């Protein structure tokens, strides 16, 4: 049973436009959400996170939105750049756990020049 | 600044052979340490985590084991590898128990 779902395996966006990556979750005990970026044959790189007590967190071109009632979060990248092309993973942490993250299967973003 | 080292980068091992992957963290003390695996076409799955020396928790039953002999060292082992152990293994650390920071990973192919 997938607790963190990324229903779009891939997304293609034109350079300069907005990229929106989506993630849905089922566990109401998640208290922290994260986005990671991963290139092939490398470890994931932490991008941005959000606590369940907030609904938005922004860091440069990256903004994460959390809708707790819908159990949905999204990552917005504006403007998108070719170097953003990678697989993006959504992850969540259960309240009280020791940082054990539950990951979605990832969305491959392709930003075309 | 903190850095995490994981080696080797790639490994090809025959079925039934032993395994030892090592991970070390620099620039921090008493971190939480984790081993994840990414199988082909799937997300990352937590295998083991440790909150201190000698303290290991297993998330899924498997053919693998983990040990933490020193504060900043985390080792993933197997006595006899199976074909199904093939995958991309990632070590990670966390200072707060929220964000996790990953190493470069080890691509293990069991043949």
Give CA A90 to chain center in angstroms. Answer: 4
Residue A39, burial from CB neighbour count under 10 angstroms (0-12, 13-18, 19+): exposed
Place of tokens 């990352």: B44
A103: which chain B residues are within 8 Å (Cβ-Cβ)?
43-45
Instruction: Measure in Å the smallest separation between the Cα of B80 and chain A Cα atoms.
Output: 25
pLDDT category of residue B2 using cuts at 50, 70 and 90: confident
Q: Is the pLDDT of residue B58 over 80?
A: yes
| Strand pairing class (A107-112; A10-14) | parallel
Q: Is the pLDDT of residue B96 over 90?
A: no
Domain ranges of chain A: 4-112
Cβ of A43 within 8 Å of Cβ of B6? The answer is: yes
Q: Is the pLDDT of residue B91 over 80?
A: yes
Does the beta carbon of B101 lie under 8 angstroms from any beta carbon of chain A? yes
Rg (alpha carbons) of chain A, rounded to whole number: 13
Give the span between the Cα atoms of B63 and A98, in whole angstroms.
Answer: 23
Instruction: Measure in Å the smallest separation between the Cα of A95 and chain B Cα atoms.
Output: 10
The dotted CATH code for B3-110 is 2.60.40.10
Domain ranges of chain B: 3-110
Using a pLDDT cut of 90, give the percent of chain A over it: 90
Does the beta carbon of A48 lie under 8 angstroms from any beta carbon of chain B? no
Give the span between the Cα atoms of A89 and B75, in whole angstroms.
Answer: 25
Nearest to A99 among B32, B43, B59 (CB): B32
Q: What is the pLDDT of residue A96?
A: 83
The residues with which A104 forms a beta bridge, in sequence order, are none
Give the span between the Cα atoms of A47 and B102, in whole angstroms.
Answer: 12
Give the domain A4-112 fold.
Immunoglobulin-like (2.60.40)
The answer to whether the CB of B104 falls within 8 A of the CB of B7 is no
- Per-residue DSSP letter, A9: S
Cβ of A100 within 8 Å of Cβ of B98? The answer is: no
Q: What pLDDT, in 10s, does the model give residues B6-54?
A: 999 999 999 999 999 999 999 988 899 999 999 877 789 999 999 999 9
Instruction: Measure in Å the smallest separation between the Cα of A37 and chain B Cα atoms.
Output: 11
Using a pLDDT cut of 70, give the percent of chain A over it: 99
Give the span between the Cα atoms of A113 and A15, in whole angstroms.
Answer: 5
């Amino acid at each position: 049973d997938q607790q963190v779902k990324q229903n779009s395996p891939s997304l293609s966006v034109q350079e300069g436009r907005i990229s929106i990556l989506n993630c849905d979750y089922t566990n109401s005990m998640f208290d922290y959400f994260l986005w990671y970026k991963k290139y092939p044959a490398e470890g994931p790189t932490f991008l941005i996170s959000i606590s369940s007590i907030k609904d938005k967190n922004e860091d440069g071109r990256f903004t994460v939105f959390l809708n707790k009632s819908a159990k949905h979060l999204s990552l917005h990248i504006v403007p998108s750049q070719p170097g953003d092309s990678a697989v993006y993973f959504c992850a969540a942490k259960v309240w009280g756990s020791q940082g054990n993250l539950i990951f979605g299967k990832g969305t491959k973003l392709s930003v075309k020049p | 600044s903190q850095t995490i080292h994981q080696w080797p980068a790639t490994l090809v091992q025959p079925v039934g052979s032993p395994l030892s992957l090592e991970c070390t963290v620099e620039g921090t003390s008493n971190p939480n340490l984790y081993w994840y695996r990414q199988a082909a076409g799937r997300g990352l799955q937590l295998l083991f985590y440790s909150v201190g020396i000698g303290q290991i928790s297993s998330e899924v039953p498997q053919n693998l084991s983990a040990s933490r002999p020193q504060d900043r060292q985390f080792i993933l082992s197997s006595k006899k590898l199976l074909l199904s152990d093939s995958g991309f293994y990632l070590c990670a650390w966390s200072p707060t128990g929220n964000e996790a920071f990953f190493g470069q990973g080890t691509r293990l192919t069991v043949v």
